Homo-oligomer: A and B are copies of this chain.
Protein backbone atom coordinates (compact mmCIF):
# COMPACT_ATOMS: atom_id res chain seq x y z
CA UNK A 1 0.00 0.00 0.00
CA UNK A 2 1.35 3.41 -0.90
CA UNK A 3 1.76 5.96 1.90
CA UNK A 4 -1.27 8.09 2.42
CA UNK A 5 -1.95 10.18 -0.66
CA UNK A 6 -3.37 13.66 -0.20
CA UNK A 7 -7.08 13.47 0.43
CA UNK A 8 -8.02 15.26 -2.74
CA UNK A 9 -6.57 12.48 -4.84
CA UNK A 10 -9.12 10.07 -3.46
CA UNK A 11 -11.64 8.75 -5.84
CA UNK A 12 -14.18 8.67 -3.04
CA UNK A 13 -13.57 11.13 -0.25
CA UNK A 14 -15.75 10.15 2.69
CA UNK A 15 -18.10 13.07 2.12
CA UNK A 16 -18.94 11.53 -1.22
CA UNK A 17 -18.85 7.91 -0.11
CA UNK A 18 -21.11 5.92 -2.44
CA UNK A 19 -22.56 4.10 0.53
CA UNK A 20 -24.06 7.31 1.86
CA UNK A 21 -26.75 7.26 -0.81
CA UNK A 22 -28.17 3.95 0.31
CA UNK A 23 -31.03 3.94 2.75
CA UNK A 24 -29.81 0.78 4.38
CA UNK A 25 -26.83 2.63 5.85
CA UNK A 26 -27.12 4.87 8.87
CA UNK A 27 -25.76 8.38 8.26
CA UNK A 28 -22.75 9.62 10.20
CA UNK A 29 -22.74 12.57 12.54
CA UNK A 30 -20.50 15.33 11.28
CA UNK A 31 -17.65 14.73 13.71
CA UNK A 32 -17.79 11.03 13.08
CA UNK A 33 -17.49 11.63 9.38
CA UNK A 34 -14.46 13.79 10.02
CA UNK A 35 -12.84 11.18 12.17
CA UNK A 36 -13.50 8.35 9.74
CA UNK A 37 -12.12 10.48 6.96
CA UNK A 38 -9.00 10.96 9.07
CA UNK A 39 -8.85 7.23 9.77
CA UNK A 40 -8.89 6.40 6.10
CA UNK A 41 -5.46 5.94 4.68
CA UNK A 42 -6.14 4.85 1.16
CA UNK A 43 -8.19 3.02 -1.35
CA UNK A 44 -7.79 -0.41 -2.81
CA UNK A 45 -8.90 -1.96 -6.03
CA UNK A 46 -9.02 -5.74 -6.19
CA UNK A 47 -9.65 -7.71 -9.34
CA UNK A 48 -12.00 -10.66 -9.35
CA UNK A 49 -10.18 -13.71 -8.05
CA UNK A 50 -7.65 -11.82 -5.96
CA UNK A 51 -6.93 -12.89 -2.39
CA UNK A 52 -7.46 -9.82 -0.25
CA UNK A 53 -6.51 -11.31 3.08
CA UNK A 54 -4.98 -14.65 3.91
CA UNK A 55 -5.61 -16.94 6.85
CA UNK A 56 -2.74 -16.78 9.30
CA UNK A 57 -1.64 -13.30 8.34
CA UNK A 58 -2.11 -10.44 10.75
CA UNK A 59 -3.05 -7.82 8.26
CA UNK A 60 -2.16 -4.23 8.92
CA UNK A 61 -5.42 -3.06 7.42
CA UNK A 62 -9.06 -2.80 8.03
CA UNK A 63 -11.18 -2.50 4.94
CA UNK A 64 -14.65 -1.36 4.12
CA UNK A 65 -16.16 -2.55 0.87
CA UNK A 66 -17.40 0.26 -1.35
CA UNK A 67 -18.39 -1.88 -4.31
CA UNK A 68 -18.22 -5.43 -5.58
CA UNK A 69 -18.64 -8.93 -4.20
CA UNK A 70 -16.22 -11.06 -2.18
CA UNK A 71 -16.27 -13.95 0.21
CA UNK A 72 -14.69 -15.21 3.43
CA UNK A 73 -13.59 -18.84 3.60
CA UNK A 74 -11.59 -21.45 5.45
CA UNK A 75 -9.74 -24.40 3.99
CA UNK A 76 -9.32 -27.89 5.38
CA UNK A 77 -6.08 -29.82 4.93
CA UNK A 78 -7.71 -32.02 2.33
CA UNK A 79 -8.48 -28.96 0.25
CA UNK A 80 -12.16 -28.72 1.16
CA UNK A 81 -13.33 -25.16 1.30
CA UNK A 82 -16.06 -23.75 3.47
CA UNK A 83 -17.32 -20.36 2.40
CA UNK A 84 -18.35 -18.61 5.59
CA UNK A 85 -20.12 -15.62 4.15
CA UNK A 86 -20.39 -13.43 1.12
CA UNK A 87 -19.08 -9.89 1.44
CA UNK A 88 -20.93 -6.92 -0.01
CA UNK A 89 -20.69 -3.11 0.07
CA UNK A 90 -20.66 -1.72 3.60
CA UNK A 91 -19.05 -4.83 5.04
CA UNK A 92 -16.07 -4.36 7.29
CA UNK A 93 -13.13 -6.73 6.73
CA UNK A 94 -10.25 -7.62 8.97
CA UNK A 95 -11.65 -6.94 12.42
CA UNK A 96 -10.57 -10.38 13.62
CA UNK A 97 -7.06 -9.68 12.45
CA UNK A 98 -7.07 -6.32 14.22
CA UNK A 99 -8.44 -7.57 17.52
CA UNK A 100 -7.05 -11.04 17.88
CA UNK A 101 -3.58 -11.68 16.62
CA UNK A 102 -4.24 -13.10 13.24
CA UNK A 103 -6.93 -13.79 10.70
CA UNK A 104 -8.47 -17.24 10.93
CA UNK A 105 -10.00 -17.05 7.47
CA UNK A 106 -9.15 -15.76 4.03
CA UNK A 107 -10.97 -13.23 1.89
CA UNK A 108 -11.21 -13.35 -1.88
CA UNK A 109 -12.78 -11.02 -4.44
CA UNK A 110 -15.61 -12.52 -6.49
CA UNK A 111 -15.94 -9.54 -8.77
CA UNK A 112 -13.77 -6.49 -9.13
CA UNK A 113 -13.94 -4.66 -5.82
CA UNK A 114 -13.28 -1.18 -4.59
CA UNK A 115 -12.36 -0.81 -0.93
CA UNK A 116 -11.57 1.80 1.64
CA UNK A 117 -8.40 1.22 3.68
CA UNK A 118 -7.94 2.03 7.38
CA UNK A 119 -4.88 1.67 9.52
CA UNK A 120 -5.36 -1.06 12.06
CA UNK A 121 -3.25 0.78 14.61
CA UNK A 122 -5.68 3.63 14.75
CA UNK A 123 -8.56 1.46 15.82
CA UNK A 124 -7.62 2.25 19.37
CA UNK A 125 -8.08 5.99 18.78
CA UNK A 126 -11.53 5.22 17.56
CA UNK A 127 -12.42 3.37 20.73
CA UNK A 128 -10.92 6.08 22.89
CA UNK A 129 -12.40 9.12 21.19
CA UNK A 130 -15.53 7.94 19.46
CA UNK A 131 -17.61 5.59 21.55
CA UNK A 132 -20.43 5.88 19.04
CA UNK A 133 -18.22 4.44 16.33
CA UNK A 134 -16.91 1.81 18.73
CA UNK A 135 -20.49 0.84 19.34
CA UNK A 136 -21.02 0.65 15.58
CA UNK A 137 -18.15 -1.76 15.23
CA UNK A 138 -19.62 -3.95 17.92
CA UNK A 139 -22.93 -3.70 16.08
CA UNK A 140 -21.30 -5.01 12.94
CA UNK A 141 -19.56 -7.84 14.75
CA UNK A 142 -22.78 -8.75 16.47
CA UNK A 143 -24.70 -8.71 13.22
CA UNK A 144 -22.15 -10.97 11.59
CA UNK A 145 -22.57 -13.34 14.51
CA UNK A 146 -26.31 -13.36 13.89
CA UNK A 147 -25.82 -14.16 10.24
CA UNK A 148 -23.48 -17.00 11.10
CA UNK A 149 -26.07 -18.34 13.51
CA UNK A 150 -28.56 -18.42 10.66
CA UNK A 151 -26.12 -20.19 8.38
CA UNK A 152 -25.39 -22.75 11.04
CA UNK A 153 -29.10 -23.39 11.36
CA UNK A 154 -29.26 -23.63 7.61
CA UNK A 155 -26.48 -26.19 7.28
CA UNK A 156 -27.45 -28.19 10.29
CA UNK A 157 -31.20 -28.45 9.96
CA UNK A 158 -32.42 -27.90 6.43
CA UNK A 159 -32.59 -30.19 3.40
CA UNK A 160 -30.55 -29.39 0.31
CA UNK A 161 -33.43 -27.66 -1.47
CA UNK A 162 -34.47 -25.53 1.49
CA UNK A 163 -30.86 -24.74 2.21
CA UNK A 164 -30.30 -23.53 -1.30
CA UNK A 165 -33.49 -21.49 -1.35
CA UNK A 166 -32.47 -19.87 1.90
CA UNK A 167 -29.06 -18.94 0.59
CA UNK A 168 -30.40 -17.40 -2.58
CA UNK A 169 -32.98 -15.37 -0.67
CA UNK A 170 -30.32 -14.26 1.77
CA UNK A 171 -27.93 -13.11 -0.91
CA UNK A 172 -30.62 -11.52 -3.01
CA UNK A 173 -32.03 -9.44 -0.23
CA UNK A 174 -28.62 -8.30 0.90
CA UNK A 175 -27.88 -7.22 -2.66
CA UNK A 176 -31.27 -5.58 -2.86
CA UNK A 177 -30.62 -3.50 0.24
CA UNK A 178 -27.53 -2.20 -1.49
CA UNK A 179 -29.29 -1.25 -4.68
CA UNK A 180 -27.60 -3.98 -6.70
CA UNK A 181 -30.77 -5.61 -8.01
CA UNK A 182 -33.17 -4.70 -10.80
CA UNK A 183 -36.62 -6.08 -10.14
CA UNK A 184 -36.19 -9.75 -9.41
CA UNK A 185 -32.73 -9.93 -11.00
CA UNK A 186 -29.16 -9.59 -9.76
CA UNK A 187 -25.88 -9.86 -11.52
CA UNK A 188 -24.56 -12.80 -9.61
CA UNK A 189 -20.83 -13.45 -9.66
CA UNK A 190 -20.87 -16.80 -7.85
CA UNK A 191 -20.42 -20.13 -9.57
CA UNK A 192 -22.24 -23.28 -8.57
CA UNK A 193 -19.02 -24.36 -6.91
CA UNK A 194 -19.21 -21.34 -4.62
CA UNK A 195 -22.78 -22.16 -3.72
CA UNK A 196 -21.79 -25.75 -3.04
CA UNK A 197 -18.91 -24.66 -0.80
CA UNK A 198 -21.20 -22.36 1.09
CA UNK A 199 -23.87 -24.97 1.68
CA UNK A 200 -21.65 -27.92 2.43
CA UNK A 201 -22.99 -29.83 -0.57
CA UNK A 202 -21.15 -31.42 -3.45
CA UNK A 203 -21.05 -29.61 -6.76
CA UNK A 204 -23.09 -32.29 -8.45
CA UNK A 205 -25.81 -32.23 -5.88
CA UNK A 206 -25.89 -28.46 -5.85
CA UNK A 207 -26.37 -28.50 -9.58
CA UNK A 208 -29.26 -30.92 -9.35
CA UNK A 209 -30.85 -28.95 -6.56
CA UNK A 210 -30.59 -25.68 -8.46
CA UNK A 211 -32.05 -27.31 -11.55
CA UNK A 212 -34.87 -28.64 -9.46
CA UNK A 213 -35.64 -25.11 -8.25
CA UNK A 214 -35.44 -23.88 -11.83
CA UNK A 215 -37.75 -26.62 -13.10
CA UNK A 216 -40.28 -25.62 -10.48
CA UNK A 217 -39.96 -22.05 -11.79
CA UNK A 218 -38.73 -20.67 -8.49
CA UNK A 219 -35.52 -19.31 -9.89
CA UNK A 220 -33.70 -18.77 -13.18
CA UNK A 221 -29.95 -18.48 -13.29
CA UNK A 222 -28.15 -17.97 -16.57
CA UNK A 223 -25.32 -15.81 -17.77
CA UNK A 224 -24.27 -14.63 -14.34
CA UNK A 225 -27.77 -13.36 -13.70
CA UNK A 226 -29.95 -14.76 -10.99
CA UNK A 227 -33.68 -14.14 -11.05
CA UNK A 228 -36.02 -15.03 -8.23
CA UNK A 229 -39.16 -15.98 -10.14
CA UNK A 230 -41.29 -16.88 -7.16
CA UNK A 231 -40.04 -15.30 -4.02
CA UNK A 232 -43.01 -16.42 -1.96
CA UNK A 233 -42.54 -20.05 -2.86
CA UNK A 234 -38.84 -19.78 -2.10
CA UNK A 235 -39.51 -18.11 1.22
CA UNK A 236 -41.98 -20.80 2.05
CA UNK A 237 -39.58 -23.58 1.14
CA UNK A 238 -36.83 -22.01 3.22
CA UNK A 239 -38.81 -20.83 6.24
CA UNK A 240 -37.63 -17.38 5.37
CA UNK A 241 -38.70 -14.45 7.53
CA UNK A 242 -39.11 -11.52 5.22
CA UNK A 243 -38.38 -8.99 7.92
CA UNK A 244 -37.67 -5.47 6.78
CA UNK A 245 -33.97 -4.70 6.92
CA UNK A 246 -33.05 -2.17 9.58
CA UNK A 247 -30.47 0.50 8.98
CA UNK A 248 -26.96 -0.60 9.70
CA UNK A 249 -23.84 1.36 10.51
CA UNK A 250 -20.64 1.26 8.53
CA UNK A 251 -17.18 2.66 9.07
Q: List A residues at the B interface (Cβ < 8 Å).
A: 72, 74, 76-77, 80-82, 84, 95-96, 99-101, 104-105, 124, 127-128, 131-132, 134-135, 137-139, 141-146, 148-153, 155-158, 197-200, 239, 246
Q: Hey, which chain B residues are within 8 Å of A157, CB to CB?
A: 76, 80-82, 200
B99, A138: Cβ atoms under 8 Å? Answer: yes
**Chain B residues with CB below 8 A from A134, complex form:** 127, 131, 134-135, 138
Distance from A243 Cβ to chain B, minimum over Cβ atoms (Å): 10
Which residue of chain B is the closest to A132 with respect to CB atoms?
Answer: B127
Residues of chain B lying within 8 A (CB to CB) of residue A158 = 76
Determine how close the nearest CB of chain B comes to the CB of A188; give it in whole angstroms: 21
The listed residue (B100, B128, B143) touching A131 by CB distance below 8 A is B128
The distance in angstroms between the C-alpha atoms of A47 and B186, with both chains bound, is 49
| Chain B residues whose C-beta falls within 8 Å of the C-beta of A72 in the assembled complex | 149
Q: A99-B135, A99-B142, A100-B246 are in contact. List 5 more A-B contacts (CB 8 A).
A: A101-B246, A105-B149, A134-B138, A141-B141, A148-B148
With contacts A101-B246, A157-B82 known, is A152 near B142, CB below 8 A? no
CB distance from A75 to the nearest CB of B (A): 9
Contact yes or no, A99 B131, CB < 8 A: no
Instruction: Let me know if A156 and B155 touch, CB within 8 A.
Output: yes
A156 touches B199 (CB 8 A): yes
Min C-beta distance of A134 to chain B, whole Å: 5
- Nearest first, the 8 A-B pairs at minimum CB distance are A156-B200, A148-B148, A141-B141, A127-B131, A80-B157, A82-B153, A82-B156, A155-B155
From the candidates B100, B146, B200, name the one contacting A143 in the complex (CB within 8 A): B100
Residue from A77, A95, A138 with most neighbouring chain B CB atoms (10 Å): A138
**Smallest Cβ-Cβ distance to A200: which chain B residue:** B156
CB of B99 within 8 A of CB of A139, answer yes
Q: Which residues of chain B have C-beta atoms less than 8 A from A95's C-beta?
A: 138, 142
Q: Give the CA-CA distance A199 to B156 in the complex, in Å.
A: 7
User: Of B127, B135, B152, which one neighbours A152 at CB under 8 angstroms?
Assistant: B152
- With a cutoff of 8 Å between Cβ atoms, the chain B residues found around residue A141 in the complex are 138, 141-142, 145
Give the residue name and chain of the B residue nearest to A201 (CB): B156
Which residues in B have their C-beta under 8 angstroms from that of A198? 156
CA distance A151 to B156 in the complex (A): 10
CB nearest neighbor in B for A197: B156
